[in-house]
Structure 1
Amino acid sequence: MFDFGQMPRPDIPAESEYVIVGAGSAGCVLANRISAAGHSVTLLEAGPRDRNLLIHIPAGVYSVFKNPSLNWNYQAEPDQGVNGREVELPRGKVVGGSSSINAMIYMRGHPLDYDRWAERYGLPQWKFENCLPYFKTGESSDRGPNDWRGDRGPLGVTKSTLENPLYDALWEAGATSGQGCSDDLNGFAPEGIARLDSTTRGGRRCSAAVAHLRPAMGRPGMNLITGARVHRVTFEKGRATGIRYSVGNEIRQIHATREVILSAGAINSPWLLKLSGVGPERELRRHGIDPVHVLPGVGRNLQDHLSIDHVQACTKRITLDYLQRPWSRLRVGMRWMIDRGGVAASNIWEMGGLVYSTANLPHPNIQYHFALVWPEYEGRSIRLHQAWTMTVDQLRPFSRGDVLLKSADPAQSPMAKFNYLSDPRDLRELMDGLRRAEELFQQRSFDDFRGPRIRPGPRVKTDEELAEHVRDNASTDYHPCGTCRMGNDDMAVVDEILRVRGVGGLRVVDA
């Protein structure tokens, strides 16, 4: 039923032209494009292959999302800004990386973000007008080709199609509240309430592994090694020459004749650089690591989309809480097995929006994700409630953190210290975002469905109570970034074409 591609050959070579660390959203694309040009590639992935069926069923996201066998199971360091909590930080540890366990929401970002990066860091080639052709080439959108969208690329992108009265109510509320509506948040007008796109095709998840890696697996010189725990990058005379890694108890070494590319994510890529002797000198020496090249910005500038849920009980039985019942899940699953249709083909978060927390901002700073259920997590189990959820994300946080070493031992996880809400502007924007969500649900279009507000609870009334609610309940929306920043200043880690500054033969492509 599923084609998982060619199995890796037993005669894995001792060298490749390119060695890529991390078979996630970036690594799978790179392996495809580089091998398509005729170069040999070895792709190292710490996790297993993506054979778990629930990965490929879009609604299975709740089951795979916190599956410990597909996840690095990281936790952020305790943060004073969130009242000392250790925020869970799921990251994909499987072929496809986080694209195999995430909610599949396809969102490019606002064009002005790209233009601002280009101007601030002296990177004119990263302006949105220069990136847009690659977005179009990379996707196969069922919205059809136009000036903003492509329909012939490898990545399946599907507009949500489920019908529900709550979706109609939300669309109308966007119009009557003044928050606006958009036909396509990845198109000409990326503002307002909208139907979201998902990285799915034909009712199945279209992860980076499905879209990019599988088509490459039959090519000569293309190798995938799973269960590979990378220890460090090896260097000779200031140039990266390969990777030292282990599979089980066996220590291995692979030589890269052209380049080593780290695509291990915003947590693991800077961690591996530091383990390899590339990073802030004082931190490296504190852990007994001799510096290969001093780069003070490695691991700095950590940021994330912090989120908070607005949850409202629904008075009518039109939400997805019925999926709590085993018989209902079986029926929905059988429908998907037959024709890849129905609720199981949905990523659940089918509507959302990009809005302004306050007036006089240059572009939206809040993102909504709307679900026809409240999935309450109790450890690794989930309880579904007859309610709807609006997740409120802050898009441009001001707080910054660090990825730090705990030790020089590659078997010990890195330390992720986000410093959530350390800048008071972040707390204010999340509070304003919750108020904007409340404004939507008080519109007349929700009158027939609106039950009691569950989160924030009815006792939360004052600004002080709302602020404390955010500190007690805000969590990651799973988008860490910025730890190997691009630029040409002293704190930049990579240049405009992602080469690690001051080191030969080494790039970081995803952090």
Structure 2
Amino acid sequence: MKKRYDYVIVGGGSAGSALANRLSADSNTSVLVLEAGRADFKIDPLIHMPAALMFPSGNPLYDWRYESDPEPFMGGRRVAHTRGKVLGGSSSINGMIFQRGNRGDYDKWATFAGMEDWDYAHCLPYFKRMETTLAGADAWRGGSGPLTLERGPATSPLFQAFFEATQQAGYAPTDDVNGYRQEGFAPFDHTTKNGSRMSASRSYLWPVKNRKNLDIATLAFVTNLRWDGNRVTGVDFVRGGRRKHSVEAGEVILCGGAFNTPQLLQLSGVGNPEVLAAAGVETRVDLPGVGENLQDHLEVYLQHESVQPVSIQPWLKKWKAPYIGAQWLFANTGVGASNHFEAGGFIRTNEEVQYPNLMFHFLPVAVRYDGTGGGHEHGYQVHIGPMNSDVRGHVRITSNDPKKHPSILFNYLSTERDRREWVEVVRAARHILSQPAFSPFDGGEISPGSAVQTDEEIIDWIAKDAETALHPSCSAKMGTDEMSVVDPNSMRVHGTEGLRVADASVFPSITNGNIYAPVMMVAERAADLIAGNTMLAPENPPTYRAKAGMPLYPEGDPRNDAWDAKSEIPSAAAIVGEPR
């Protein structure tokens, strides 16, 4: 390790891996990645076997094990938040689902002060640059990027019943939820290749780790930023839990995510003076937005028992684990080679929203994310929750000890709109799962069960049973208003020099799907902004907008004949009925 680098990247997770690859492509630029977790060893099946995704959650070897403060609208429950404690960050332990979000998410970003160049047209070329979409490149999808994307086969009887049921319920299919039309149901893209996880580390760092101008240090916990006036000149860090080190930097780029980035900023004196003073930290830069605007997706599992032996439930039995592991290890096939989140879709729950605000993940098994709750022979479930909640929370340090987790509060279920959408979400999901296509399989609803029917009962169940979908974001948002933290045209932290941020914390608002894809897009775009490269030219192919009455497929596609191209796809509320 050198004493000075042009760029020091704090965090070797999703965004940090992409930035390290792109910035070190210039052989005249020196780059250091400091990752507080350990290496993502090639021999570790809990990282690289897709079906093993449930095992790292809660395991201190893989998970930082954050949790929220007692949530006031959820009976004071603390909600656990798994975050990757390994090179590749959460991309090394997540569900591998790849969802860009809707065009409307980025056009909404462009309405925030200073964010005009973050609309869909400007973001699309960076999505395409990072992708190798094995289903085929086109005007909307990339075909030669570092990140390989396979599409779930979703061919089992339960997946086929799910697709048929969605159409029986009045919803359209789509070819690609990341392409021309998001609204509808389809097999999902996932970050796997030949039966193995393709994390950000494996996709971006592994191929370039031998570059002479790139150093990667694991077990390197950054404790503070080093300053000269308002310029950041380097970082202090602890290696292996004991030895203290410092390194100088031309630029420091924070890629710690929605929790660690605002925490490190606050520990270093950047934030709300009242929050800093309460934690015993002297204010260096008054930025009240640091740690505010925190957003996430909450989700529940709507589970049914299956009367036919067509689910993957029996494979959860512990005595089968050695066989699954051996089959994957020696042939990269079998149950272990899939994340099993192979299909789902997006709908609008009411006529007020302009684009989908509900995502479905369908699974041919009834089990919680941590692997518990599978006491029945066969089952299936959907993961559901509102995508564009108006709930807002915060991340605030309570101590000047960098090893102490900050106060994290999401305020789940705290607004009337959020609670209303939750009722719509559950009723829409029940409507789909009650369609004739599931009749040969349906052994009854396991969770929440028939006792939960009224609006109040639904909200009570969510408050007691919901989990995070693990999409924390927006806690150091881009923009130019008084609560913004990061300049969207340079990724610099306002009021500082030599300090930038590029991770999920810079989102001004959360996107309507899993956030890994937009995090990687932000990193790709940030790399050009930081390096001073010519930005990719905006692209603006047509995309489906239900409110505009556009065809379901691009103009001239014969599949439009199967649907009334002049009518809108109905919302869930129009099909199911308004909440009671």
TM-score (norm 1): 0.95
Structure 2 alignment gaps of length 5 or more: 506-580
**How much has 1:327 moved relative to structure 2?**
4.3
**How much has 1:81 moved relative to structure 2?**
1.2
1:26-57, Cα deviation, whole Å (9 max, x unpaired) = 00001111111121111111110012222111
Describe the SS at the equivalent of 2:108.
helix
Mark the CA change 1:155 to 1:33 in structure 2 (over 3 Å): closer, same or farther: same
Runs of 4+ in 1 over 4 A off after TM superposition: none
Contact 2:38 2:86 in 1 (8 A): yes
Residue 229 (structure 2) aligned to one of 234, 237, 243: 237
Residue 493 (structure 1) aligned to one of 460, 476, 485: 485
**How much has 1:62 moved relative to structure 2?**
1.3
Aligned-partner Cα distance in 1 for 2:112–2:396: 26
Aligned-partner Cα distance in 2 for 1:407–1:59: 38
Note the 1:134-145 alignment, pairs <5 A: 134-145=126-137
Aligned-partner Cα distance in 1 for 2:284–2:500: 15
Contact 2:366 2:373 in 1 (8 A): no
Aligned-partner Cα distance in 1 for 2:343–2:60: 28
**How much has 1:246 moved relative to structure 2?**
0.6
TM-score (norm 2): 0.84
Matched, 1:46 2:36: yes
Matched, 1:29 2:18: yes
Matched, 1:436 2:425: no
Aligned-partner Cα distance in 2 for 1:382–1:14: 51
Count residues with an aligned counterpart. Answer: 498
**How much has 1:381 moved relative to structure 2?**
5.7
Aligned-partner Cα distance in 2 for 1:120–1:326: 50
* Equivalent residue number for residue 7 of structure 2: 18
Aligned-partner Cα distance in 1 for 2:389–2:14: 23
Aligned-partner Cα distance in 2 for 1:164–1:389: 14
Contact 2:365 2:379 in 1 (8 A): yes
Aligned-partner Cα distance in 2 for 1:275–1:327: 47
**How much has 1:65 moved relative to structure 2?**
3.0
Describe the SS at the equivalent of 1:99.
helix
Structure 1 alignment gaps of length 5 or more: 1-11
Aligned-partner Cα distance in 2 for 1:130–1:411: 38
Contact 1:319 1:387 in 2 (8 A): yes
Percent identical = 40
Describe the SS at the equivalent of 1:301.
strand
Which amino acid is the alignment partner of residue 417 of structure 1? L
Mark the CA change 1:384 to 1:94 in structure 2 (over 3 Å): closer, same or farther: farther
* Equivalent residue number for residue 473 of structure 1: 465
Note the 1:135-284 alignment, pairs <5 A: 135-247=127-239, 248-256=241-249, 258-284=250-276
Aligned-partner Cα distance in 1 for 2:84–2:373: 19
* Equivalent residue number for residue 3 of structure 1: none
Describe the SS at the equivalent of 2:111.
helix
1:415-454, Cα deviation, whole Å (9 max, x unpaired) = 1111111112112112211111101011111110111111
Which amino acid is the alignment partner of residue 244 of structure 2? I
* Equivalent residue number for residue 112 of structure 1: 104
Note the 1:48-447 alignment, pairs <5 A: 48-51=38-41, 52-247=44-239, 248-256=241-249, 258-376=250-368, 383=374, 385=376, 386-447=378-439
Mark the CA change 1:377 to 1:160 in structure 2 (over 3 Å): closer, same or farther: closer
**How much has 1:393 moved relative to structure 2?**
2.2
Describe the SS at the equivalent of 1:70.
coil
Aligned-partner Cα distance in 2 for 1:138–1:396: 25
Please identify, of 93-102 and 348-357, the stretch whose mean Cα deviation from structure 2 is larger: 348-357
Contact 1:31 1:216 in 2 (8 A): no
1:275-307, Cα deviation, whole Å (9 max, x unpaired) = 000000111122221111110000000010011
* Equivalent residue number for residue 546 of structure 2: none
Aligned-partner Cα distance in 2 for 1:66–1:214: 26
Contact 2:154 2:160 in 1 (8 A): no
**How much has 1:273 moved relative to structure 2?**
0.1
Describe the SS at the equivalent of 1:440.
helix
Which amino acid is the alignment partner of residue 56 of structure 2? V
Aligned-partner Cα distance in 1 for 2:476–2:205: 24
Aligned-partner Cα distance in 2 for 1:135–1:206: 16
1:338-380, Cα deviation, whole Å (9 max, x unpaired) = 33222211111111111111234200000111111112468x8
Aligned-partner Cα distance in 2 for 1:265–1:304: 13
Contact 2:263 2:397 in 1 (8 A): yes
Mark the CA change 1:284 to 1:111 in structure 2 (over 3 Å): closer, same or farther: same
Contact 2:3 2:248 in 1 (8 A): yes
Aligned-partner Cα distance in 2 for 1:131–1:397: 23
Please identify, of 264-273 and 62-71, the stretch whose mean Cα deviation from structure 2 is larger: 62-71
Residue 506 (structure 1) aligned to one of 499, 507, 517: 499
Aligned-partner Cα distance in 2 for 1:34–1:120: 28
**How much has 1:162 moved relative to structure 2?**
4.4
Aligned-partner Cα distance in 1 for 2:405–2:318: 37
